[in-house]
């Protein structure tokens, strides 16, 4: 994580030098955000359909992100971010003779996007974003008991994937160099059907934006 933050700081320094001293409507910025992430498990990959075994999913988690960007003007920004969407769970629960198991599913990755802005007033703007998300999805079995799940004990794997992602939100620049942002981001379907399973993930977050001019 320290390496990631250092990379963002170096990027911001480079962006600041490149943009020079400009008006508030242009320049580099750095941000941090957190919120509620949501997962939708693909039933074809996770549902076993075993008699007497109940299946359930913990579909929400806490997500966080750090990001760096460049505002070209009041109508257009470009942004890169590192996102940790948290940990989700998929559980199988049966009688002692059958057993039970819990799969932990974690998602993180880097995103690059273009952010068109629509100023509503001097301080308030609406925006959307389109871009790509390079994800790493990790699945591991945190517990496995009984004969039906004995083969899952110790399972751990990961899968990388690049998906199209999009979002929309609103930003309020209450001070000259600090803004507040709320938004929804849909990162698409991560993982794969051959190893960790496929999951659709999204994030609703609030962020602070710190501008360098």
* Full residue range of the structural domain in which residue 198 is found: 2-211
**213 residues of the chain, pLDDT tens digit each:** 445 445 444 444 444 444 333 335 689 999 999 999 999 999 999 998 888 899 999 999 999 999 999 999 989 999 999 999 999 999 999 888 889 999 999 999 999 999 999 999 988 999 999 999 999 999 999 999 988 888 788 899 999 999 999 999 999 987 778 999 999 999 999 999 999 999 999 999 999 999 887
Residues 184/167, Cβ–Cβ less than 8 Å: yes
Question: What pLDDT does 25 receive?
Answer: 66
Distance CA 54, CA 139 (A): 20
CATH code, domain with 81? 2.40.160.20
- Domains contained in the chain, number: 1
Distance CA 122, CA 143 (A): 54
Question: What pLDDT does 47 receive?
Answer: 93
Question: What pLDDT does 158 receive?
Answer: 97
Task: Tell me the two tokens of residue 15.
Answer: 């962006």
Q: In whole angstroms, how far apart are CA 206 and each of 39, 138, 211?
A: 18, 25, 16
Question: What pLDDT does 98 receive?
Answer: 87
């Amino acid at each position: 994580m320290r390496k990631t933050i250092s990379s963002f700081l170096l990027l911001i320094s480079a962006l600041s030098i490149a943009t020079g001293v400009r008006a508030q409507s242009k320049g580099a910025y750095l941000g941090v955000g957190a919120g509620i992430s949501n997962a939708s498990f693909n039933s074809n990959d996770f549902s076993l359909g075993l008699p007497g075994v109940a299946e359930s999913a913990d579909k929400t988690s806490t997500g966080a992100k750090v990001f760096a960007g460049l505002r070209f003007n009041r109508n257009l920004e470009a942004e890169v971010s590192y996102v940790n969407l948290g940990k989700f769970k998929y559980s199988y629960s049966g009688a002692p003779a059958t057993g039970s198991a819990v799969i932990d599913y974690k998602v993180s990755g880097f995103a690059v996007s273009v952010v068109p802005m629509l100023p509503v007033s001097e301080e308030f703007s609406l925006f959307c974003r389109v871009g790509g998300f390079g994800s790493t999805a990790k699945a591991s079995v945190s517990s496995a008991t009984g004969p039906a799940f004995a083969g899952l004990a110790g399972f751990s794997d990961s899968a990388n994937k690049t998906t199209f992602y999009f979002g929309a939100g609103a930003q309020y620049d209450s001070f000259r160099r600090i803004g507040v942002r709320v938004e929804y981001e849909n990162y698409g379907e991560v993982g794969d059907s051959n190893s960790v399973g496929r999951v659709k993930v999204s994030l609703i977050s609030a962020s602070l934006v710190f501008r360098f001019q």
